[in-house]
Amino acid sequence: MTRNFAHRGYSGKYPENTTLAFRKAVEAGADGIELDVQLTRDGEPVIIHDELVDRTTDGTGRVKDFTLAELQALDASYIYTGQYGRNPIPTLREYCEFVKDLPIVTNIEMKTGVYEYLGMEEKVWAMIQEYHLEEKVIISSFNHFTILRMREIAPKLKYGFLSETWIVGAGRYCHEHGVPCYHPMFRNLTHEVVAELKKYGLEINTYTVNTEEDVRDLAAKGIDTVIGNFPELTRDVLASIQG
């Protein structure tokens, strides 16, 4: 069975990485939600994709240079020109409150590719424990050092290495680091790559899958999770295949 994760929430239709997009993903029948975490200047984990607030909010500057209060004064849905009212950048804590009693898996992507946000691992782990989400999270990152660091402090969580490039021997690489999930860009999942990953027993969670054709292809290849911007579309395609 292939699972349906909503990428940045239901971001194909609603402002990405907002509580609205997360709520709509759940309503759309997603099995899980992928979101991106960074730290504010005063050390609060917040949910936003870019290192700059410019693309998704009415502000300008780096996430890491804003205090939480300053950041929460911004509108993360301004691109939609008032269509959905005002939607602030959520904190990870607000998200945990929202998801704690829902049967939803959360893929927390640690956005440490540009700024390392040292110490974010401890903060995210503390929140996972506080909200008892240990069995319901997958921690991923393009920065594989972040994954290894976080595993030191939280060895029982599930981890995945993210990749957007064509890696030879990715299954072996993950296996050698004891990382059970691989999160590649979906176009890189040729039959040869999938076979190598399966040989090492990897869980394959791939992004960003937005068309019926691609959902079908990946489900046929036995991919564990497709992460996409249109969870309703994914739900319907998977239902037509899997029943």
Using CB under 6 A, list all residues that contact ligand G3P. Answer: 7, 34, 36, 49, 109, 140, 162, 183, 207, 227
Residue 172, Cβ neighbours under 10 Å: how many?
A: 15
If contact means CB under 5 to 8 A according to the sort of partner, which of Mg ion, ligand G3P, none does residue 35 touch?
none
Min separation Cβ 87 and ligand G3P, Å: 19
- Contacts of range 73-81, beta carbons closer than 8 Å, 24 or more positions apart: 76/15, 76/16, 76/17, 76/18, 76/48, 77/14, 77/15, 77/18, 77/20, 79/15, 80/14, 80/15
Under DSSP, is residue 63 helix (H, G, I), strand (E, B) or coil? Answer: helix
- Closest to ligand G3P by CB, 166 or 240: 166
Q: Which is nearer to Mg ion, 109 or 121 (CB)?
A: 109
CB of 69 or CB of 150, closer to Mg ion = 150
Q: CA 149 to CA 215: how far, in whole Å?
A: 33
Q: How far apart are CA 113 and CA 12, in angstroms?
A: 24
Q: For Mg ion, which residue has the nearest CB? A: 109
Written as six digits, the tokens of 106 are: 């959360």
Catalytic, 7? Answer: yes
Q: Report the run of H or E that residue 108 belongs to, with start and end.
A: strand 105-110
Shortest Å, Cβ 141 to ligand G3P: 9
Compose the 85-124 pattern: x for residues touching Mg ion by CB under 5 A, - for all others: ------------------------x---------------
Is 75 among the residues that bind Mg ion (CB under 5 A)? no
Question: Taking CB under 5 A as the rule, which mask of x and - marks residues 32-61 in contact with Mg ion?
Answer: ----x-------------------------
List the single partner that 237 binds among ligand G3P, Mg ion, none, CB under 5 to 8 Å by kind: none
Residue 124, number of CB atoms within 10 A of its CB: 24
The nearest distance, CB 19 to ligand G3P, in angstroms, is 18
Q: Judge whether 25 and 106 are in contact, CB under 8 Å.
A: no
Binders of Mg ion among residues 119 to 178 (CB under 5 A) are: none
Which residues are known catalytic residues?
Answer: 7, 49
